[in-house]
Amino acid sequence: MKKIVTRISQRFTNMFLELYRVHLFILKFFKEAFTAPFEGREVLRQCYQVGYRSLALISLTGFITGIVFTKQSRPSLAEFGATSWLPSLVGIAMLRTLAPLLTALISAGKVGSSIGAELGSMKVTEQIDAMEVSATNPFSYLVVTRVLATSITIPILTFYTAFVALLGAFVNVSTNESTSFSAFVQSFLESITFLDITASTIKAIVFGFTIGMVGCYQGFHSSKGTEGVGKAANSAVVVGMFLVFIEEVIATQITFLFRT
């Protein structure tokens, strides 16, 4: 019994220590992000990496989700003879939730894990120390650039996902009704609001920040040995996805406050 109590209290202490370290890590990001030298070129290179790594998978997933979601929603709307609402239904669902969530989850898997593994192996093989002794700040060169890159690129990818999903939806719509593409887009555009776009953009930035931050944190704090690298990559994905879901719930609550 006593053993269990000490175990639990140790667990909690570790958790709070970890939270404290995360907190310091985030503070350090904001400090370094706003102090020179700024690594513009490296940020661009990382943006390209983020986009490049997830583009194919996102295109495929977005397109299929568009088709399937439309096909599944059709019978319910058909009951009320309201299939003409499909474009706006799909559009709203995509833009508000599915596109940000899909993009974030895929990026957590592709980008978050590779950041975790890359920085983890750099840490383990002392490359980060080597960078530090050659008078380059590894935090601003490695962490700040990657977090900025995910925070910039994932919102862009989110709108791309929404666009591809709409194409998928149109494939389904056009095989069932004789709707032209311009009419389809028209009815989508009429149904969305400025609030939808703003909320999704902010949400996607937060998701991107989270994924980059989690990947970098796990990599930077990975334990020695090759096992540590694997663990870093793995927890980058698990923790990243978990946080994205929690943020999604919170973000939905907040946007609903604005809607009413």
Which residues lie near another protein (CB under 8 A)? Answer: 118, 121-122, 125-127, 129-137
Those residues with Cβ within 8 angstroms of residue 171's Cβ, 6 or more apart along the chain or in another chain:
66, 67
Q: CA-CA distance, 173 to 93, in Å (whole number)? A: 16
Cβ neighbours of residue 8 under 8 Å, at least 6 residues apart?
A: none
Q: Smallest gap, in angstroms, from Cβ of residue 214 to another protein? A: 21
Nearest residue (CB) to another protein, 45 versus 76: 45
User: Closest by alpha carbon to 54, among 214, 199, 203, 212?
Assistant: 212
CB of 84 to another protein, least distance (A): 53
- The beta strands (E) that lie in the chain are given as none
CA-based diameter of the chain, in Å? Answer: 72
Q: Which is nearer to another protein, 17 or 195 (CB)?
A: 17
Radius of gyration over every alpha carbon of the chain, rounded to an integer in angstroms:
22
CB of 123 to another protein, least distance (A): 11
By C-alpha distance, which of 201, 150, 155 is closest to 43? Answer: 150
The number of beta carbons lying within 10 Å of the beta carbon of residue 45 is 12
Rounded CA-CA distance 170/193 in Å is 20
Of 88 and 136, the one with the shorter C-beta distance to another protein is 136
Tell me the torsion sign for CA atoms 248, 211, 111, 53: positive
At closest approach, how far in Å is the CB of 67 from another protein?
38
The encoded tokens of residue 108 equal 């957590």
Q: List Cβ neighbours of 189 (8 Å cut-off, separation of 6 or more).
A: none
- Toward another protein, which CB reaches closer, 26 or 131? 131
Matching residue, tokens 């389809």: 184
Q: Could you tell me the smallest distance in angstroms from the CB atom of residue 24 to another protein?
A: 16
* Minimum CB distance to another protein, residue 210 (Å): 24
Nearer to another protein, 90 or 122 (CB): 122
Q: In the complex, what is the shortest distance from the CB of residue 231 to another protein, in angstroms, rounded to a whole number?
A: 19
Q: By C-beta, is 132 or 196 nearer to another protein?
A: 132
Closer to another protein by Cβ: residue 18 or 190: 18
